[in-house]
Amino acid sequence: MSVPLLTGEERRFLIGLDLGQANDYTAITAIEQEWSREIKGYLYKLRYMERVRGQSYAAIVARVYNMLKSPKLMASEPPRLIIDKTGVGAPVVDMFRVREVRPTEITITGGNSTIAAGHGFHVPKRDLVFALLTAVQNKQFLIAEGLPLAGPFMDELLNFKVKIDTKTGHDSYESWRENIHDDLVLSAAMAVWFGKYKYGRRAKFR
């Protein structure tokens, strides 16, 4: 799906960083959020996506830091970093803060509601994925042509399902097959969720 030319007066880049364990994949996603007068809402354009494994967290921090400072990501406001703080995320957040980067921290939960906490939020996994799925279904999520990981990303997204825990009544999103990773989906989902949560309320006042 091709990405239309930029015409809106409000646009920003949202960087989603889903951190993996030492031997797992870490996914980095750059999504451009732009106000569209045509649909009177925001478009989310997947401009960049990469998956890395075997790199130190210090190397990943340096990589993302350079992205945040790139002139290509400067728009109507500086880019925002949305990072998965779950598990190994806390020390990585500290590394960014040493570099004077203040990321929005997302702790992924299996609960039922979003809770503001410190410099970020505790967010149910289903809400993150639902935000992305809704944008896709409403044709508000566009993928730039030529992205090497566009295929694996769509495979991940299409292979998600809802699993109900009969003991707790909570639902969570997981892959149909165990060999399907979810890092690409979660990195994009965090960025889209934050874009909707932070800026989506403006739409009804336009």
What's the Cα-to-Cα distance from 29 to each of 59, 68, 134, 183, rounded to whole Å? 16, 12, 18, 10
pLDDT of residue 125 exceeding 50: yes
Report the range out of 18-22, 53-57, 202-206 with the highest average pLDDT.
53-57
- Report CA Rg, the chain: 16
The pTM for the full model equals 0.86
**Can you spell out the DSSP letters for 184-206?**
HHHHHHHHHHHHHHHHGGGGGG-
Measured distance CA(152)–CA(179) in Å, rounded: 12
pLDDT of residue 2 exceeding 60: no
pLDDT of residue 14 exceeding 80: yes
pLDDT tens digits, one per residue of 148-188: 999 989 888 887 766 656 566 666 666 544 445 688 999 99
pLDDT at 8: 45
pLDDT at 172: 62
pLDDT at 171: 67
Q: List alpha helices for the chain, DSSP H.
A: 57-68, 89-98, 125-137, 150-158, 183-199
Closest CA to 31 of 164, 190, 162: 190
pLDDT of residue 98 exceeding 80: yes
182 Cβ neighbours under 8 A, 6+ residues apart: 156, 160, 173, 174, 175
Measured distance between the N- and C-terminal CA atoms of the chain, rounded to whole angstroms: 27
pLDDT of residue 99 exceeding 60: yes
pLDDT at 87: 75
Q: Beta strand pairing status for 115-117 and 171-175? A: unpaired
Please indicate whether residue 203 or residue 54 has the higher confidence score (pLDDT). Answer: 54
Measured distance CA(184)–CA(161) in Å, rounded: 16
pLDDT of residue 41 exceeding 50: yes
Residue 4's pLDDT band, with cuts at 50, 70 and 90, is: very low
Cβ-contact 175, 159 below 8 angstroms? yes
pLDDT of residue 193 exceeding 50: yes
pLDDT at 88: 76
pLDDT at 61: 95
pLDDT of residue 66 exceeding 90: yes
Question: Collapsing DSSP states into helix, strand and coil, what is residue 26?
Answer: strand
Domains of the chain listed by start with CATH number = 11-199 (3.30.420.240)
Q: How far is CA 8 from the centre of its chain?
A: 22
pLDDT of residue 22 exceeding 90: no
